[in-house]
Amino acid sequence: MIENNLKEFLDSKVDFYNQPSFIAQDPVCIPHQFTKKQDIEIAGFFAAIFAWGNRTTIINKSNELMQLMDKAPHQFILQHQKKDLQKLEGFKHRTFNTTDLLYCIEFFNMHYSNNQSLETAFTKGLHKKELTIENGLKGFYNYFFSLPHIPERTKKHIASPEKKSSCKRLNMYLRWMVRKDNKGVDFGIWKNISPAQLVIPIDVHVARVAKKFNLLQNNKTDWQAALELTAYLRTLDAADPVKYDFALFGTGVMEKL
């Protein structure tokens, strides 16, 4: 497929999937249940962190957690008493368990006690003129694990480019928070990170489609593969390369290319 035709094809798939109808069957439906900025941020974070495996299960477990937080995650995190945490005991999604959840709540309590938005957690190591969000992700990892007592097991749930991870789930979360268009899927509530700096949330489905179209040479689904694919997508739209996540993910999962 020659490049102009490929761009037309991918643009058409972006238009097809980047619609409100996409929301209901995607983990992004979880933050869409809220209107308060901080609730959107927290609900979106957990939905993204849970986003591996069956999508129905991801959505169900995310909804379960939101119910345990009384459908007001920001208020719960800032105002909970010790006894309120007891109802979280036994919560589990795959390898994410109560220990991990309680650490996340402790971190969010610390952060939101001093900040109005979670965006600042991703901009600590980021310069506005940097090409990608890489240093922002590294800074977030270090900040997230800056509390005095860190469960070693929880570290596997938060990715970092320093560990050569593709950071798929965090990149997806950043797409939700940063991208802004009139389609209604992504929120665009963060203003200090540019959509141009975002990196494609690459997983096996996205990588498979990218390789089918010769957009990706890297055989590993790692950080370098994410950068390689993003660099190509930037040639199609330098200002908004990760909009093509809709095209690649949709084609790979929905159409099973």
Does residue 256 surpass a pLDDT of 70? no
**pLDDT (average), residues 94-110:** 97
State pTM to two decimals: 0.96
- The predicted structure's pLDDT at residue 257: 54
Q: Which one is predicted more confidently, 250 or 191?
A: 191
Q: Is the pLDDT of residue 117 over 90?
A: yes
pLDDT, residue 53, reads 87
Q: Which residue has the higher pLDDT, 125 or 63?
A: 63
**The pLDDT value given to residue 253:** 73
In this predicted structure, the answer to whether residue 151 has a pLDDT above a threshold of 60 is: yes
Q: What confidence tens digit (pLDDT) does each residue in 34-50 have?
A: 999 999 999 999 999 99
Residues 6+ apart with CB under 8 A from 209: 248, 251, 252, 257
Helices 55-68, 37-49: axis angle to 10 degrees equals 140
Give Cα separations from 137 to 34, 53, 94, 143, 152 (angstroms): 25, 23, 24, 10, 19
Residue 31's nearest CA partner among 75, 73, 77 is: 73
